[in-house]
Amino acid sequence: MNIVILGPPGSGKGTQSELISGKYGLYYLQTGDLSRKLAEKNERIKEIVNSGKLIPQEEMTLYVLDHLKDENIDLNNILFEGFPRFVSQYEALENFLKTKSATINLAISIDISREETIKRISARRICIKCTEVYNLITDPPDKEGLCRCGGRLIQREDDNPESIEVRLRYYENNTKELIKYLENRNFLIRIDGSRPIQEIFNDIVEVIENTNAKNTGKN
Ligand SMILES: [Zn+2]
């Protein structure tokens, strides 16, 4: 099953994506990671990523499709997070999958308010040693400022208030179109992301099971 997860920064879509891909054995395509890897090799991309902006949409599409081809990934078992964000990317992905007899089976949006996004991201900390992510509000470390592994916790360069604002505005302006597009196709499932992690996860599992049952029924 191929699943697309949407949601503003701080909605917990990364946490949910890990849980879902773990439970269903999906390849987790995390474009945040992919972008940061590209940034290490490319100054221009580094500037874009650090300012909280997005890699231009067509360019990102090429990187993602190249990645899918290069890594020999099972194109029927992927969880997409952070891509697609635009209608053009969604259609490019759908067309690419079609050539491999695959499709997007499910699109989920995890929704939280603007205020909640800013509050949650400002509280995010990352370990400089093992890159584990903590949240001072929802998932604080046992020892202040320190990771389980002993590494120091810092705020990621793109988690400052200015970058969050930029990302949020980008999210609202750009993903809005994709959300509208998916809603018009009656294809978007909305999940309330303001609740505890386990509750959200249970809801998503139910949606996946329903979709699986429907797809099996068709065969
Ligand atoms: Zn650590």
Q: Based on the fold, state whether residues 88 and 72 are members of the same structural domain.
A: yes
Token pair for 28: 């987790």
126 bridge partner residues:
133, 154
Annotated catalytic residue 185:
no
Does 86 count as an annotated binding residue?
A: no
* CB proximity list for 208: less than 8 A, separation 6 or greater: 1, 3, 20, 24, 106
Q: Is 95 domain-assigned?
A: yes
User: Region 199-219: what's the mean pLDDT?
Assistant: 89
Dist. CA 106 → ligand 1 center (Å): 34
Give the model confidence (pLDDT) of 67-83 as tens digits: 998 878 999 999 999 99
Burial code (b: 16+ CB inside 10 Å, e: under 16) for 155-167 equals eeebbeeebbebb
Q: Based on the fold, state whether residues 64 and 103 are members of the same structural domain.
A: yes
Q: Based on the fold, state whether residues 210 and 138 are members of the same structural domain.
A: no
Q: Based on the fold, state whether residues 105 and 123 are members of the same structural domain.
A: no
Amino acid (one-letter) located at 126? I
Q: Based on the fold, state whether residues 96 and 123 are members of the same structural domain.
A: no
Q: Based on the fold, state whether residues 193 and 95 are members of the same structural domain.
A: yes
Does 21 count as an annotated binding residue?
A: no
Q: Based on the fold, state whether residues 95 and 18 are members of the same structural domain.
A: yes
Query: In 136-206, which ranges are E strands?
Result: 153-154, 188-192
Three-state SS at 162: helix
Token pair for 9: 């920064």
Three-state SS at 137: coil
Annotated catalytic residue 100:
no
Q: How far is CA 42 from the centre of its chain?
A: 22
Q: What is the pTM of this model?
A: 0.84
Helix axes 87-99, 57-70, angle to 10 degrees: 30
The CA distance from 144 to 128, in Å, is 14
Q: Based on the fold, state whether residues 65 and 165 are members of the same structural domain.
A: no
Give the model confidence (pLDDT) of 111-156 as tens digits: 999 889 989 989 999 999 999 999 998 889 999 999 999 999 999 8
Q: Based on the fold, state whether residues 152 and 51 are members of the same structural domain.
A: no
Q: Using DSSP, how many helices (H) and how many strands (E) does the chain show?
A: 9, 8
Q: Based on the fold, state whether residues 108 and 131 are members of the same structural domain.
A: no
Q: Based on the fold, state whether residues 130 and 106 are members of the same structural domain.
A: no
pLDDT for residue 53: 75
Q: Which domain holds residue 163?
A: 114-172
Does 10 count as an annotated binding residue?
A: yes
The CA distance from 153 to 141, in Å, is 9
Closest residue by Cα to residue 69 from 29, 23, 24: 29
Q: Based on the fold, state whether residues 100 and 24 are members of the same structural domain.
A: yes
